[in-house]
Structure 1
Amino acid sequence: MTSTRSEPGPVRTPAGELTPAQAVERAEAIAAELVGRQAETERRTYYAPDIHDRFVDAGLYRLLVPRRYGGHELGADTFARVCMAIARGCPSSGWMYLFGAAHALVVATLFDERAQRELFAGGDFVCPATVAPSGSATRVDGGWRLNGTWRYCSGSPYATHFLGHTMVQRDGAAEPTPMMFVLPRESWRLEDDWGAQLGLRGSGSHGITVVDAHVPDHLTYDGLLAQVDPTGDLPGRALHAGPEYGGGPLSFMLLELGILAVGMARGALDAYEELMRARTTSFWPIVPRTEDPDYQFRYGEAAGMIAAGEAAVLDAVRQWHELSARGPAAITRERELRLALIGREAVRLCWRAVEGQLFPTAGSSSVRSGERIERVWRDMSMLHSHAGLGTFLAGMANRELAQAHFSRSDPKE
């Protein structure tokens, strides 16, 4: 079954400049409202149209769009803090927002001026992406004819574009090779196939189906996003003053999981604090939980883990920016993997805090279906099923990091 219930509205250009502090403040204000609307968001399978409008009005879909094309170009650090704030209020909404807005960075880095001028023409840019090749492509004059369905396209209900991968047979090549492409909203339909999962039911991670869509050559990129070599020539470096438009796509893409985990865990800690203030202990002496040493210990233990995860992932984002500024030679695969693994450790710290400290001691009535801590537990459990975390960062990245390190002639770094 398909759905057309989530068509994006007309773009409205936000008035004036936006500072990093203002962006975070606006995100926090929206997130405060999202807390009480989480069940509604899950039922709908994506955040509400009025929340989407508030993101538009706040300029949050333009944070990573280059200034050259009407964006705010506020950088990865501001984007990370905005995403943490939204995920703290509602994990599903944070997931949906991040994976819709993040790929402005990819497009501004990898595609040429003609493509960027076309793709960013609307101002706001919401572009879910998948990295696993799917569907099929047939060569036609000036481009390709695409068909297929791409699943788990987080951020798709209000998307302006879609970035996907497929395999293509090129002239003279013995085997098919991967190709990345970007399609505008009118070229695909949204599937009604999301919402029955364990967690992140409101993340708008619907499938996208393409039927005989034409994608011109300038909206394609040879290769896989996860395998982009940032030490080579990237169009974004020549087009934009900001160094992040020449940064490593792989590392930032995987750091996003740590960013979301921190926001989710902070939301669980908020809920646990409310319970501590409102409830008493179950065993003698009956005292407010805020006065009980065991609850104090659990809260402090979780708060420390979450704070460490936040510090780690935000510093990794800082390192990513500095690496981008150092130029292409500095962005080696080994360095990218090291940054990505910091994101993995941030997830682990936050998960230990929620699963090991908060969830078991919140009380059975507080982990019923629809309660805030129960929802965060489900959503963070679902996060672990993401292939980037559950497959790549769980094992493959360790081996690849070691291989990259020991293949270098200079062992000092």
Structure 2
Amino acid sequence: MTTRPSTEDFPPPPEPDLTPAQVVARAEAIAPTLVERQAETEKRTYYAEDTHEQFRAAGFYRLLVPRRYGGYEFGVETFMRVAMTIARGCPSTGWQYLFGAAHALPVASLFGREAQDEVFAGGDFLCPITVGPTGSGVPTGDGGYVVNGNWGYSSGAPYATHFVGHTLVAGENGPRPLMFLVPRAQWQRLDDWGNGLGLKGSGSHTIRVEDVVVPAHRAIEAHVSQLPVTGGTPGRELHGNPEYGGGPLSFMLLELGVLSVGIAQGALDAYAELMRTRTTTYLPIVPRTEDTDYQFHYGEAVSKIGAAEAAVFGALRQWSETSARGAAAFTREAELRLALISKQAIALTWSAVADHLFPTAGSSAVKAGERVERVWRDLSMVHSHAGVGMFLGGKANRELARLTFGVPE
């Protein structure tokens, strides 16, 4: 059993009396202002400097930073609610924000106190994590590694304070994975994002690391998707908060479900505006709000997006409850059961947009640059994410069944 440390000697966050409800309300106020900036964000390939400053002032970059380091430590549900709300206003901005700010949680969970003292010293924390092993890590002989390589799809890179990547280290029994953590001064962001089908403004640039010596306390010989937490984590012990001992795999895959809900909500907002302002194409010509077909498609989309939202936030509550039951409760099987909920949420949101909103919005509403068109592109990109298309798309199902029935791999 871990004990919650006293916060008396901890540095206070910028607004000591800020509450979770207040920070969610701030996101709800900011999100509508992002809608008209979507084209600008895509052209730049990341959200604007003034938006970044607005997020910083609102406390968004400290939501999952531990209280020990001047963070708010508001927990996963509050953080995900903020990220979903931002994605509703601008999918690219929501994507960049979430995949930068969310990773305070796995860093505060998996790395030891020495590393955390270093990386959280600035308070605000933005840290892309890429899971595809690339580049190289060569042992230095004292527990550290010299790391070189390029890591693509590093969402959140433009304003990031740190980066976590994976590489492979050569060994007698074959290569073994290495997860490493480096500060912003030790890597370069390449100007290579913006040519994808969607999420053009998500700041998912390539990060280049050249001849960087990563000390032992910022290196873990494991892959984040395979790290067991049933024996406890450094963060659970250090912070006395069970959420810093929860499963990192399920948390990171639930991020995708949350973003999908926010993106689909934005499509529903655009569709509702079309219903209020446009008429039917075929006789009788009436406002779309009065047409039974449009009413049906709108209702179907509402129900599917609502079900997806209920699923991901229900899963997040289960995630927190499982963490609170103790380290032993968060087994690999528990991780997979929660992660697979995200897959179904993504399927529901995609059906709402692709089967109901996009086909009936009208060709003029899906021209390049229109909000419905942009959301369709952005949400379609979710399916090309390796976590969705490959892992949740099949591997997770089979692994869960094997674990449930005791079948060897």
Same fold (TM over 0.5): yes
Amino acid at match of 2:389: G
Amino acid at match of 1:253: M
Aligned length: 395
Aligned to 1:4: none
Please state if 1:28 is matched with 2:28.
Answer: yes
Secondary structure at the counterpart of residue 163 of structure 1: strand
Check conservation: 2:181, 2:214, Cα contact below 8 A: yes
Q: CA RMSD of the aligned region, Å?
A: 1.2
Aligned to 1:303: 302
Counterpart CA distance in 2 for 1:166 and 1:386 is: 19
Counterpart CA distance in 1 for 2:70 and 2:168 is: 33
Counterpart CA distance in 1 for 2:45 and 2:269 is: 24
Amino acid at match of 1:40: E
Check conservation: 2:254, 2:339, Cα contact below 8 A: yes
Aligned to 1:169: 170
Aligned to 1:269: 268
Relative to structure 2, which stretch is displaced further, 232-241 or 337-346?
232-241
Counterpart CA distance in 1 for 2:15 and 2:175 is: 47
Deviations 1:194-227 (A, max 9, x none): 0010000000000000111111110011100000
Counterpart CA distance in 1 for 2:96 and 2:200 is: 10
Counterpart CA distance in 1 for 2:224 and 2:18 is: 30
Deviation at 1:139, TM superposition (A): 2.0
Counterpart CA distance in 2 for 1:190 and 1:41 is: 17
Aligned to 1:377: 376
Unmatched segments (≥5 aa) in structure 2: 1-11
Give matches, 1:249-264, under 5 Å.
Answer: 249-264=248-263
Amino acid at match of 1:265: A
Deviation at 1:17, TM superposition (A): 3.0
Please state if 1:80 is matched with 2:80.
Answer: yes
Check conservation: 1:62, 1:71, Cα contact below 8 A: yes
Check conservation: 1:93, 1:202, Cα contact below 8 A: yes
Amino acid at match of 1:52: H
Counterpart CA distance in 1 for 2:325 and 2:401 is: 23
Amino acid at match of 2:220: Y
Deviation at 1:13, TM superposition (A): 6.4
Aligned to 1:63: 63
Secondary structure at the counterpart of residue 117 of structure 2: helix
Aligned to 2:205: 206
Counterpart CA distance in 2 for 1:224 and 1:50 is: 35
Q: Please give the TM-score of this superposition, normalised by the length of structure 1.
A: 0.94
Deviations 1:244-272 (A, max 9, x none): 00000011111111000000000000000
Aligned to 1:97: 97
Counterpart CA distance in 2 for 1:236 and 1:15 is: 24
Aligned to 2:107: 107
Aligned to 1:8: none
Secondary structure at the counterpart of residue 36 of structure 2: helix
Aligned to 1:140: 140
Counterpart CA distance in 2 for 1:325 and 1:13 is: 25
Unmatched segments (≥5 aa) in structure 1: 1-11, 409-413
Aligned to 1:232: 231
Check conservation: 1:86, 1:263, Cα contact below 8 A: yes
Amino acid at match of 2:17: E
Deviations 1:371-407 (A, max 9, x none): 0010000001111000000000010010001001001
Check conservation: 1:251, 1:336, Cα contact below 8 A: yes
Counterpart CA distance in 1 for 2:401 and 2:348 is: 23
Counterpart CA distance in 1 for 2:17 and 2:50 is: 22
State the identity %: 64
Secondary structure at the counterpart of residue 37 of structure 2: helix
Counterpart CA distance in 2 for 1:106 and 1:174 is: 28
Check conservation: 1:337, 1:401, Cα contact below 8 A: yes
Counterpart CA distance in 2 for 1:14 and 1:369 is: 42
Please state if 1:149 is matched with 2:150.
Answer: yes
Amino acid at match of 1:226: S
